[in-house]
């Protein structure tokens, strides 16, 4: 090859590397942008009067006088709608399928009609709480989806047909232009910052309210896992660095640690089910004698399972940190007559602490984000925030599991996308905060070791 070509190949080789890094960064941006943007939308959004009503009725929050004023305007704006309905019913009777459909669509938008009795399910008690939802609901009031089979070579195509057509010539004909023009007055949209999303209980399986139960459950599981894994991990690391003889058994032990690090997380879940719940029945010891729950999920079982999962991470981090402590510290301590244990406790561990903390923080991130190990051991779909003492016997909702559950198994998965995004963002922020803390800690350690 000519020298020129060699140079170009050299440059493009560099370019290839940079290109791949750019692609990876791009992928990260593509991944995180929608999660961040729409996740923030769970907390900052245009709320309607219905959102305020949920807060007033179920969480006893909000400014009563502002609410009363807004509510009065909204009721006044809604009155004509119900008048038209009554007029229509007087003329055509109530037993009308199309009327039924319209009423249902209106209920999704505005909540139950004033003359209606209070529905049992919370999701039917309120209209659209978010302006984006309200616009969709309004669209469903104004249009009906029909299937167009006119082209026999193709599958049916959905087409939106104005609902007004069905009611042409009736008192309801003017309802549709009224709804589309007075949507603002009927729902009173306003920007709001809903901190309660993080701190409120969920209402009717996340149709309204917040995700506090999930956040708390994740915290319990994470802290529990760390409580079990950290002492064992640090002691194991001390043994491996300071005591372990050159013996084939120690080689086997090291292989076991790396095997444990490679076990798929779902297998941990099965193991937790087979061992902690079915065999050891860890929660049985803390239950009242007369309780029937012999083997059930609990935070305790989940924490233990997660603890085994993060144990190798902690052992490796602690081992590395203890190995990095300069030998001279140890010599100095021994030379003034400190015993081995005293040297480890007073000199080696304090010096290794930042490195160990880095490992702990990273493993917390790992434990908080894992889903598969808690499916069979600790997670439930719906639940209330638990007290600390309940963690020994009770299962809990947790962020990662609820994300899965809400977007695949919830009956109204499409309507509560904002909750799903909010949960994902909360989880990602939690984990990334922990990892950022670890990166900062590590930078400080390396600076100290350098200077």
Partner 1 sequence: MTTNPSIAPIGPGGAGRLAAPRSLLLSKRASRLRRVLALLGHGVLFLIASSSALAVIFIFFFIARDAIPFFRLEGFKEFFTGTAWYPTHEPPVFGALPIFVGSGLVTLGAILVAVPLGVPAAVCLSDVLPFSVRQYVKPVIEMLAAIPSVAFGFFALVIFTPLLQEHGGRVLAGVWWVVATPLVALLVFVLSDVVANWVVGEARHRAVRVLLAVLMAAAGAWLLFDVGGRFAALTISSGTNALNVSIILGLMALPTVVSVSEDALQAVGRELREGAYALGSTRAEVLVRVIIPAAGSGICAAVILGVMRAVGETMVVWMASGNAAQIPQPWYNLLAPVRTLTATIAGDMGEADQSAGSAHYHVLFAMALALLAISFVCNLISEQVIRRSALKNE
Partner 2 sequence: MFYGDSAAVRDVTLGVPRGKVTAIIGPSGCGKSTLLRAINRMNDLIRGCRATGRLLLEGEDVYRPQIDVTALRRRVGMVFQKPNPFPKSIFDNVAYGPRIHGVRSRSDLQGIVEQSLRRAALWDEVKDRMRQNALGLSGGQQQRLCIARALAVEPELLLMDEPTSALDPMATDHIENLIAELRGTYTIIIVTHNMQQAARVSDLTAFMYVGELIEVGDTSGLFTKPVNQRTQDYITGRFG
Among 266, 345, 382, 449, binds partner 1 (CB under 8 A): 266
Rounded Cα distance, 173 and 161, in Å: 14
Contact region with partner 1 (CB under 8 A), list: 7-15, 63-71, 143-151, 206-214: 7-15
Q: Which of the residues 269 through 308 are near partner 1 (CB under 8 A)?
A: 269-271, 273-275, 278-279, 308
Among 7, 11, 165, 448, binds partner 2 (CB under 8 A): 448
Sequence-ordered alpha helix ranges (H) in 243-388? 248-262, 265-271, 299-324, 327-335, 340-343, 349-369, 372-375
Residue 446 touches partner 1, criterion: CB under 8 A: no
Among 113, 198, 219, 232, binds partner 1 (CB under 8 A): 232
Size of the site for partner 2 (CB under 8 A): 20
**Are 264 and 373 contacting, i.e. CB atoms less than 8 angstroms apart?**
no
Return the ∠ at Cα 423 (arms to 207 and 220), rounded to 5°: 105
Among 8, 37, 69, 382, binds partner 1 (CB under 8 A): 8
Rounded Cα distance, 82 and 114, in Å: 8
Q: Which of the residues 123 through 152 are near partner 2 (CB under 8 A)?
A: none
- Quick one: 20 or 346, whose CB is closer to partner 2? 346
Q: Which of the residues 327 through 346 are near partner 1 (CB under 8 A)?
A: 341
**Residue 211, Cβ density class (10 Å: 0-12 exposed, 13-18 middle, ≥19 buried):** buried
Residue 36 touches partner 2, criterion: CB under 8 A: no
Residue 431's binding partner out of partner 2, partner 1, none, with CB under 5 to 8 Å set by partner kind: partner 1
- 423's enclosing H/E stretch is helix 417-450
**Are 280 and 301 contacting, i.e. CB atoms less than 8 angstroms apart?**
no
Question: What letters, b where the CB count within 10 A reaches 16 and e where it falls short, cover 278-315?
Answer: eeebbbeeebeeeeeeebbbbbbbbbbbbbbbbbbbbb
- 444's enclosing H/E stretch is helix 417-450
Residue 334's binding partner out of partner 1, partner 2, none, with CB under 5 to 8 Å set by partner kind: partner 2
The neighbour count for residue 14, using CB atoms within 10 Å, is 10
Q: Which of the residues 282 through 341 are near partner 2 (CB under 8 A)?
A: 326, 328-339
Among 75, 256, 324, 382, binds partner 1 (CB under 8 A): 256
Binding mask 211-250 toward partner 2 (x if CB under 8 A, else -) reads: -----------------------------------x----
Residue 428's binding partner out of partner 1, partner 2, none, with CB under 5 to 8 Å set by partner kind: partner 1
- Quick one: 343 or 402, whose CB is closer to partner 2? 343
Name the residue among 193, 161, 185 with its Cα closest to residue 110.
Answer: 185
Q: Which residues lie near partner 2 (CB under 8 A)? A: 246, 326, 328-339, 342, 346-347, 350-351, 448
């Amino acid at each position: 090859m000519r020298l020129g070509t060699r140079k170009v190949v050299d440059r493009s080789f560099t370019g290839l590397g940079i290109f791949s890094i750019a692609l990876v960064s791009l992928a990260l941006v593509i991944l995180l942008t929608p999660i961040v943007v729409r996740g923030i939308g769970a907390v900052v959004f245009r709320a309607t009067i219905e959102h305020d009503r949920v807060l007033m009725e179920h969480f006893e929050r909000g400014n009563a006088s502002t609410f009363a004023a807004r509510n009065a305007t909204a009721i006044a704006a809604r009155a004509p709608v119900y008048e038209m309905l009554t007029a229509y019913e007087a003329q055509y009777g109530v037993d009308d399928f199309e009327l039924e459909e319209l009423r249902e669509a209106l209920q999704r938008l505005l909540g139950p009609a004033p003359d209606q009795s209070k529905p049992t399910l919370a999701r039917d008690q309120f209209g659209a709480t978010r302006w984006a939802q309200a616009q969709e609901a309004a669209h469903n009031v104004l249009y009906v989806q029909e299937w167009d089979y006119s082209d026999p070579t193709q599958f049916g195509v959905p087409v939106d047909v104005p609902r007004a057509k069905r009611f042409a010539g009736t008192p309801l004909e003017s309802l549709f232009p009224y709804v589309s023009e007075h949507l603002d007055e009927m729902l009173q949209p306003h920007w709001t910052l809903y901190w309660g999303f993080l701190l409120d209980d969920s209402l009717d399986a996340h149709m309204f309210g917040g995700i506090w139960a999930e956040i708390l459950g994740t915290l319990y599981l994470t802290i529990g896992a760390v409580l079990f894994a950290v002492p064992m991990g640090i002691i194991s690391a001390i043994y491996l660095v300071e005591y372990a003889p050159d013996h084939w058994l120690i080689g086997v032990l090291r292989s076991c640690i790396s095997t444990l690090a490679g076990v798929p997380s779902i297998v941990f879940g099965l193991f937790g089910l087979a061992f902690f719940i079915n065999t050891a029945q860890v929660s049985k010891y803390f239950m009242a004698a007369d309780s029937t729950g012999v083997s059930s999920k609990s935070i305790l079982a989940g924490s233990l399972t997660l603890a085994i999962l993060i144990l190798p991470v902690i052992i490796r981090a602690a081992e590395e940190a203890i190995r990095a402590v300069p030998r001279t510290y140890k010599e100095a301590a021994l030379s003034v007559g400190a015993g081995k244990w005293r040297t480890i406790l007073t000199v080696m561990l304090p010096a290794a602490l930042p490195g160990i903390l880095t490992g702990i923080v990273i493993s917390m991130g790992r434990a908080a984000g894992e889903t598969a190990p808690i499916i069979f051991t600790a997670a439930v779909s719906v639940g209330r925030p638990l007290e600390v003492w309940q963690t020994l016997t009770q299962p809990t909702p947790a962020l990662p599991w609820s994300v899965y559950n809400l977007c695949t198994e919830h009956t109204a998965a499409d309507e509560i996308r904002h909750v799903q995004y909010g949960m994902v963002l909360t989880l990602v922020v939690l984990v990334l905060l922990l990892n950022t803390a670890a990166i900062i800690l590590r930078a400080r350690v390396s600076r100290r070791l350098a200077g």
